[in-house]
Structure 1
Amino acid sequence: MLTIVQKYFSISILFLIVILNSCNKQNEWLEEKRLKNEVILKSLQDFQALLDNTDVMNNNYPTIGLIATDNLYIANASLSGISATERNSYIFAKDVYAGSTPSDYSYQKISYANIVLEGLQNIEIDPSIETNYNNIKGQALFFRALSYYASAQLFCKPFVTATATSDLGIVLRQSSDPNIVYQRATIQATYDQIISDLSTSIELLPVQQLYTTRPSQTSAKALLSKVYLSMGDYSKSFVYANEVLNTYNTLLDYNSNLVSTTSTFRFPAFTTNASTANPEIIFYAAGIGYDASIFAFGVQFVDSLLYQSYENNDRRKLVLYKNNGGVQVKYAGSYTGTFFNFWGIATNEMYLIRAECYARQGNASLAMNDLNSLLKKRYNTGTFTDLTAANSNDALSKVLKERRKELPFTGQIRWEDLRRLNQDSQFSVTINHIYNNVTYSLSPNDKKYVFPIPDREIQLSGVEQNDR
């Protein structure tokens, strides 16, 4: 795809990319004294090319939360060899970054989106370009909303209706001007902005795009379903998951030749060739390589209880994991087809969201229908027997169990689920990690479910730090 995009790059775009690629973190971006008149973006092709910079817009989404979950453990002898940020995240330290600024706290994607949104205001719309104009604007709004959402899962408390208007959310940068300093919005304002951006993008985007790296109307609805799920608004989450699946509901059969049980990477790498691409992917994105580096070098392993929860006929046990015959099992099942974890959205997640919403609405039968539709594609051909539920609460428990097994290292989903499910004592858990024979615990609703804002950002903008 990049070769297609590159032909549209003007000298001015190249100049912009050079500047922005040097600013991987927000503090670097804020310090960059870029003059507006030094960058000239004139055409819709320019703006599309900026959004098609997949190195920025589709990669390096936050994954630090994964390290603090119960889906993995890091070998004790290896903890001293990983970065301070990774180690401190694993043991739930108060000071996570040890003076550094993690890539997880970055506003670069938001800055790109704001540049596009501001530039589009200077283009006169006529019928010949309106569709393309709307498409580009919708993409920019989606990317901004996705970045806001990703940050909200780390740097502010989980959404709780009773306190959302008083709890601090994230910084909502609405301008590309690095000289404007923003303070933190409330959690309510944070989610209102995410929902507003996505709702507008749904009206502007086409149902499908040429590439899954470009957000579509379907992917915007899917993200909105995820947002409402994280807020505990299951009725609205259902509406959008249902609309997605009514538009696109293809599942990948894990018995097909697109799936391997022996290769280094079990799923096909990203491609624009539909015949060899993973058909479940609605929107493609990848995360920061914390998990890539420690999985690749044999430092991080899958929690044994999680691994043992798969039945022998469940192909996910073979496809998602590598077991060399010992107790240490490594994850190999990213939908990126690489070591980097998949941060996009796929139909398997939509089935699980709709199933959960059905269960929470009291409809156990439809919840199990969705869950069984997914699981039939995961077991050895002809070996799966439909699951049943005694009631809606039983259905909910089964759906959440399979959600963890289906999406163990997709995005930061397990981290996000722990944050929201801890508010219900039925599903809350205490996480224990061991380092040097000391057990470090993260209890439900602990303050450490919110990561600190990097010190450098506090110094630059004066925003209020999280209490950890």
Structure 2
Amino acid sequence: MKTRNQFYLLSLLVIGAAILSGCKKQDDLLNTKPNQALNVPTTLSDLQLLINNQNVFNRNYPSLGLVSTDDYFVDPGLWAGSFTASKNAYIWARELYAANSNVADWNFPYQAVYYANTILNVLPSIKTSGNQQTQYNTIKGSALFHRAISFYNLVQAFAMPYDSVTAIKDLGIPLPLTPDLNFKAPRSTESQCYDQIINDLIAAVPLLPDQPTVKTMPSKAAAFGLLSRIYLVMGNYSKSLQYSTSCLGLYSQLQDFNKLNPSAFPVYPNFSPEEIFHASMNGYDENGFQAQVDSNVYKSFNDPNDLRLAIFFYNNGGEIEFNSQFDYNNALSAPIATNEILLTKAECEARLNNVAGAMTDLNALLVTRWVTGTYLNLSASSADDALLQILKERRKELLFTGLRWSDLRRLNKDSRFAITLYRNINGTIYSLPPNDPRYALPIPDNEINLNPIPQNPR
């Protein structure tokens, strides 16, 4: 097993959308070739095997957004040796991909959409007895959830940040809703994309169990948590508050950091108890580059009683690297979890002028991160003061979970929080201003060659 100083950050794997790994029985049904349809499943058991496949639905979430954030930095030598897409995304280059390369951030989510569409297409033809209805409902709700989160991840990567004024005309992503591999879907508007995502989740809610039976499977709590995330990036704080409250009403467990072993790696041998739905980001290997924590972020953990210093980070010979963000598969976690949802709830309360509620939620989280008996509750003099404190802690708490990219995109629309990102590679300075067109990744050339949709300006 690799030790933690051998883990490298997110270099893009050159893997096609139909390539799967693993030896579990459920994978047998999924061994397909590129551009070849699935063998059509015919029973509920077939569909259960499909929906259980973690390689398709829980792994390989997009990572180039994270590569483009200010969560970390890399040594110039390591940067120079990284894969083309990771190397270029790190400096916000206008051209990202090697010629005719497969792009994992595009391929893997659309692979998940294809399998979800296959399940949803087959389900109506399967007759069920009374004792199978719950299984039928859970499979359908799970497929809707996975399609929704895949579309959401794609629109965060390949479309500009949501703007309620222009969403009706801004270009989003293609929204294939059938498993027809020959169908060439146009780019829908952002308004249509978010409507589809939300409608899928609303339809999934009554079909899913309240809480996750297994952390890799969807639940009502996960659907509510994802809805709260979506409405937050849309700037609809009342709706985001509604769904974050609903989520926490079903699952609200927090981890007392006093009970963790900071020397363990991974910190969580299976799942964090805060996870409502577990997922992880796509590949990294020895051809990648080693991630070090941004020094300004690291210095913001300035209270010696804050246990996140020991849990989140690892001192590798003087280089501060990431620690607890890796999961049991040695991949970077990208979960829906109670810490995120509690911070979302607190932010929405602050934005809606409920200062007391916002600070209660923030303190409820932070007390679990401090040495027992040392935490002093924070207070706020105004809604703006509360919001500033909550966003500061969100920046710290959700470090390296993939959420920073979406946060940068949405917060840049408010001049109070807009920032320009910088990289320094051997004295050459690269920058990414707020609301720059490069906040949308380019559509892969391979996709445009097959389906001539408009390219994103860079």
Q: If the length of structure 1 is used for normalisation, what is the TM-score?
A: 0.89
CA contact (8 A) 1:6 1:49 kept: no
Describe the superposition over 1:56-114 as per-residue Cα deviations: whole angstroms up to 9, x where unpaired.
Answer: 11100011111111111111122111111111001110001122222011211001100
State the distance in 2 between where 1:185 and 1:76 align: 39
CA distance in 1, matches of 2:432, 2:386: 27
Higher mean C-alpha displacement, 119-128 vs 40-49 = 119-128
Equivalent in the alignment of 1:207: 210
Q: How many Å apart are 1:343 and its aligned residue?
A: 1.2
Q: 2:63 aligns to what?
A: 63
Matched ranges for 1:183-262 at <5 A: 183-256=186-259, 259-262=260-263
1:16-38 per-residue CA deviation (whole Å, 9 max, x = no partner) reads: 4110xx5xxxxx4xxx143x7xx
Displacement of 1:145 after TM fit? 0.2
Query: 2-side partners of 1:325 and 1:53: how far apart?
Result: 39
Unaligned runs of at least 5 residues, structure 1: 23-27, 271-276
| Residue from 340, 350, 354 that aligns with 1:359 | 350
Give 1:247 deviation, angstroms.
1.6
Of 285, 288, 299 in structure 1, the residue corresponding to residue 279 of structure 2 is 285
- Answer yes or no: is 1:102 the counterpart of 2:103: yes
Is 1:395 paired with 2:386? yes
Partner SS for 2:404: helix
Is residue 346 from structure 1 mapped to residue 349 from structure 2 by the alignment? no
Q: Residue 422 and residue 321 in structure 1: after superposition, are their counterparts in 2 closer, same or farther (change >3 A)?
A: same
Select 2:425's aligned residue among 405, 427, 435.
435
- Choose which of 422, 425, 436 in structure 1 pairs with 2:412: 422
Distance 1:324 1:409 in 2: 18
Cα offset, 1:391, TM superposition: 0.5
Output the CA distance in 2 between the equivalents of 1:364 and 1:337: 38
Q: In the alignment, what sits opposite 2:265?
A: 264
Q: CA 1:442–1:248 in structure 2 vs 1: closer, same or farther (change >3 Å)? A: same
Q: 1:322 aligns with which of 296, 302, 314?
A: 314
Contact 1:352 1:371 in 2 (8 A): yes
Is 2:322 aligned against 1:331?
yes
Q: Please tell me whether the aligned partners of residues 332 and 339 of structure 1 are also in contact (alpha carbons under 8 angstroms).
A: no
Per-residue CA shift, 1:402-454, capped at 9, x if unaligned?
A: 001001111x2001000000000001111001112100000000111010001
**Structure 2 CA distance for aligned equivalents of residues 168 and 450 of structure 1:** 11
The C-alpha deviation readout for 1:147-168, integer Å capped at 9, x for no partner, is 0000011100111011001000
User: For the Cα contact (< 8 Å) 2:346–2:358, is it kept in 1?
Assistant: yes
- Cα distance in 2 for partners of 1:33, 1:130 equals 31
Q: Which runs of 4+ in 1 moved over 4 A?
A: none
State the Cα distance separating 1:289 from its structure 2 match: 2.5
Q: Distance in 2 between matches of 1:165 and 1:87?
A: 34
8 A Cα contact 2:265 2:324, kept in partner: no
Q: What is the aligned partner in structure 2 of residue 111 from structure 1?
A: 114
Distance, in Å, in 1 between the alignment partners of 2:286 and 2:261 is: 22
CA contact (8 A) 1:155 1:453 kept: yes
Q: Supply the AA of the counterpart residue of 1:367.
A: A
- How far the C-alpha of 1:127 sits from its partner, in A, is 3.0
CA distance in structure 2 between the partners assigned to 1:424 and 1:168 by the alignment? 22
User: Does residue 368 of structure 1 match 2:369?
Assistant: no
Contact 1:269–1:335 (Cα < 8 Å) also in 2 = no
Q: Which amino acid aligns with 1:401?
A: K
> Helix, strand or coil: the match of 1:286?
coil
User: Aligned partners of 1:298 and 1:338: how far apart in 2?
Assistant: 18
Quote the Cα distance in structure 1 between the aligned partners of 2:125 and 2:103.
Answer: 35
Other-structure match for 2:91 = 91
Task: Indicate conservation of the 8 Å contact 2:81/2:289, yes or no.
Answer: no
How far apart are the structure 1 equivalents of 2:445 and 2:409? 24
Q: How many residues align?
A: 432
In the aligned structure 1, how far is the partner of 2:439 from the partner of 2:116?
Answer: 28
- Among all aligned residue pairs of Structure 1 and Structure 2, give the percentage whose two residues are the same amino acid: 41
Instruction: Please name the residue that 1:150 is paired with.
Output: 153
CA contact (8 A) 2:268 2:324 kept: no
Matched, 1:407 2:398: yes
Is 2:425 aligned against 1:445? no
